[in-house]
Structure 1
Amino acid sequence: MSAFVHPDEIRSRFSAALSAMYRAEVPQYGELLALVSEVNSRVLKADPTGAERLAAAGELARLSEERHGAIRVGTADELATIARAFAVMGMAPVSYYNLAPAGVPVHSTAFRPVEPAALARNPFRVFCSLLRLELIEDEALRAEAAAALARRDIFTPCARTLIETAETAGGLDEDQADRFVSELLETFRWHAQATVSAQTYERLVAAHRLIADVVSFKGPHINHLTPRTLDIDAAQAAMPERGITPKETIEGPPARACPILLRQTSFKALEEAIAFPSGDAVVAGVHTARFGEIEQRGCALTPTGRALYDTALATRDFAALPDDWTALRRNGLAWFRYRATPQGLAARAETADLEDLIALGHVVAEPITYEDFLPVSAAGIFQSNLGAEARGTAYAVDPAKADFEQALGRLVLDEMALYQAEQDASVAATLKALGLTTATA
């Protein structure tokens, strides 16, 4: 029997194939990749110490490969099946995001690897949103949208078979893994032929542009892919020089000496030609949905740090959130990964106190990269590419996490628990390496 391909390797193959496909479909994405590569090279050349720190933390090796994408599905079956497909690639649903209060009729999760080693190999993640049909006020239009979604199957028969094979056999061999990547890619491919009439499409657009995007086509199509930059402000400023029109503002926290969480910007969504069915003929039209995005990832914040950030975001006053790694660590505001230094391994430890060990140079604390998303920023990116009119709309609904998890077919993981586990494991490994068993943080 052939050996199974590791899920990390399948994820890497799929990420590379998806990036190549999107570059062919959206040429400006290729320009975005080139721009980000140039910005990152300048940053690393200008700051050799920072480059060494990134390399020691394993961040440099993954930088050029890092991508996140986004798709929007229409039904519980589509969400549950895409979850099974991502599981084949070692990706689990992490966190629940309710965007409806911001006027975007979806709720979402992020599929991503969760183990530090898997993240180091390829941190590919996909922000996946499920349309909330119940938020369409027009009952007739809601029924029409549901019928359109019920008529389609966004997965090829072979993709469904290979998902089942991976689940029952415990994995995929080389040939199966390559076919899985090829078949699943079809789910993310752009289809210029609409599945609804031009009249229905216009009614869906009137309800919300995102509803029209989800309902009107054969598949969900990847709506953006996002490379990671080390200086998003420089990337934003350079986009117009490349013929790329950026959104007006960068989403997320302000620029800081110690980057936190996630900052995002994008270029405006493209207007693309589509064809609507009309009896035996077709009617030409246009659709706006797909765009390019750049992200800069900083340190993951603890619940206490996140509460401070949320307050700062609401008041637009970030002074209360320290812009210093030592203060963030000592005040329990951010998550850190600890490791013993060569000096520490060579010395005989006389203390089990982490702060003392750091002061002695026996241990270093590296900020853990934030691997997830910010709902306010996600809504801002969606709104900027769905038309400014979306900003004035809000849905008076409560979060529906239980409904989302029922559709998903599993519980979403708690991002804070994942960061806590990574920090705790690094502390335990460091103390063991130093011949110690207990420490006080």
Structure 2
Amino acid sequence: MKNIFISSDDIRHDFSIAMSEMYQKEVPLYGDLIDLVTDVNTGVLSKQPEIREQLEHTGEIDRLNLERHGAIRLGTAAELSMMRRLFAVMGMVPVGYYDLAPAGVPVHSTAFRATETQSLHKSPFRVFTSLLRLDLIADKVLKQEAADTLAKRNIFTDNVVSLIERFEEKGGLTADEAERFVKEALETFRWHDKTPVSKELYQKLLAQHGLIADVVGFKGPHINHLTPRTLDIDAVQAGMQAKGIPPKAIIEGPPRRDCPILLRQTSFKALEEAVSFENSAGGYDSGHHTARFGEIEQRGVALTPKGRELYDKLLSQARSQLGVTPNANNASEYYQKLEKSFKAFPDDYQTLHDEGLAYFYYQAVNDAQDASSVSSKSGINELEGNGSNDIISKQAMTHLIEQGAVRLEPIVYEDFLPVSAAGIFQSNLHDDKQSSYEGNSNQQEFEGALGAGVHNELELYQAMQAQSLEACLMALNSHA
């Protein structure tokens, strides 16, 4: 009898729920955060029907309350390579390359996520995954101690490795195997309060950088935050303060806008958690560690290369004018400079589309009475399904949109921003001693450790837009 395999989308969905339940037990404040975000989202959807309608059109409405991203930090190339294989079971592939060293965080990273629209709607779970760069540790003796410590640990259970190999050999997992996979994979991300290092070594690592201590000092890459998606991050920020949840001072990313772009992020400050350090007598010394926190994100439209160039320019301009790292003491001044800089970034979807600054879905409006005539007048009733944006002129598409035959909807940004990620990390590690590291990492080195290339996120958005255009024109042609 032929095995019936469970889809990778379903395995990812089940794993993300199990991860959320585990993290809520480990960090009760995370549960409070989920409740707050749910309340804010419910309020936005009831008071702003246009946002509800937009989410319905793009298929995001059903995934909103399920949406999470997590973050982990790995210590070795072998760990990263096996993690890639683990995530592949869940239909998650590495997307994007992020070098955080210039921002003072000694890692380079990628995001594991699904890439197809329907898969993202089923489960938009994503994990920002960083690899520690031991070469950035200046102390050679400490660097070797860290390397030796990492070489001794095994962050994957034997059972999960066996199930990964079975998935690769057979092309899937049965329902029973998938259930066991979720249970075993969860162990990799679990918090352990007993460390494999001495308190002395931990303190040395901490003196180098909080993130180095977080990676090297523990048995595995405990999930250090899970992030729900909100429709109004400013309301959540205010809500955290009202509920006594201490938020970080700065919301990372672009300023508040009518048409959100890319990604805005905030978090509650990292917890101080009791840990036990191994000692030479075979016992443990008590201490504490600060790393795990709660994060919230608001996602906007994905930007084209032209849009990203403008975004980076305006963000850099605001930060340069501030002259120092944004913090609690200059938050108000920073927001003013940020909003002033971003006045140069159009804040309506039509202009973002027309100027080629953002990616959009093209959707045929089924009830448009003049869809057939508009299609004919625009010269697209002889559609060749070649999947290219060249199949219709920009002028013709503009005409279709103006006539109401085609609707524009933003393609949500599924990825991350290196400056924002660094800001979140630094804020929660309480580490502002190092503003940057010399010797930038490189994508080739990271991909060598990964054992595969990373997908270019901009190419994925371009493909999503092109596919929607082709589907839209075919729908219009069917009425022509």
Larger mean CA deviation between 46-55 and 121-130 belongs to 46-55
Residues 1:354 and 2:397 aligned together: yes
Deviations 1:171-190 (A, max 9, x none): 00000000000000000000
Partner of 2:466: 424
In the TM superposition, residue 268 of structure 1 has moved relative to its aligned partner by 0.5
Q: Is the 8 A contact 1:345 1:434 kept in 2?
A: no
Q: Following superposition of structure 1 onto structure 2, how do residues 12-411 of structure 1 map, counting pairs within 5 Å?
A: 12-278=13-279, 279-316=281-318, 317-344=341-368, 347-348=371-372, 349-350=375-376, 351=378, 352=380, 353-390=396-433, 392-411=434-453
Query: Structure 1 residues 346 and 165 mapped into 2: Cα distance closer, same or farther (>3 Å)?
Result: farther
In the TM superposition, residue 338 of structure 1 has moved relative to its aligned partner by 0.7
Deviations 1:281-340 (A, max 9, x none): 110010001000000000000000110111110112112210111100000000001111
- Structure-2-length-normalised TM-score: 0.89
Distance 1:6 1:113 in 2: 13
Q: Is the 8 A contact 2:73 2:130 kept in 1?
A: yes
Distance 2:426 2:420 in 1: 10
Distance 1:369 1:71 in 2: 23
Distance 2:472 2:107 in 1: 42
SS at structure 1 position matched to 2:289: strand
Deviations 1:239-283 (A, max 9, x none): 022221000010000000000000000000000000011122110
Deviations 1:189-229 (A, max 9, x none): 00000100000000000111100000011101000000000
Distance 1:86 1:52 in 2: 33
Q: Is the 8 A contact 2:260 2:300 kept in 1?
A: yes
Q: CA RMSD in A?
A: 1.3
Distance 1:132 1:166 in 2: 30
Q: Which amino acid aligns with 1:4?
A: F
Q: Which amino acid aligns with 1:116?
A: T
Q: Which amino acid aligns with 1:424?
A: A
Q: Is the 8 A contact 2:210 2:431 kept in 1?
A: no
The 4+ residue runs of structure 1 with deviation greater than 4 A are none
SS at structure 2 position matched to 1:64: helix
Q: Is the 8 A contact 2:209 2:431 kept in 1?
A: no
SS at structure 1 position matched to 2:61: helix
Deviations 1:46-91 (A, max 9, x none): 1122212211211111100000000000000000000101111000
In the TM superposition, residue 344 of structure 1 has moved relative to its aligned partner by 4.3
| Alignment size in residue pairs | 436
Deviations 1:134-163 (A, max 9, x none): 011111111110111010000000000000
Distance 2:149 2:73 in 1: 15
Distance 1:10 1:345 in 2: 43
Distance 1:366 1:324 in 2: 12
Q: Is the 8 A contact 1:299 1:369 kept in 2?
A: yes
Q: Which amino acid aligns with 2:286?
A: A
Task: Among all aligned residue pairs of Structure 1 and Structure 2, give the percentage whose two residues are the same amino acid.
Answer: 57
Q: Which amino acid aligns with 1:170?
A: G
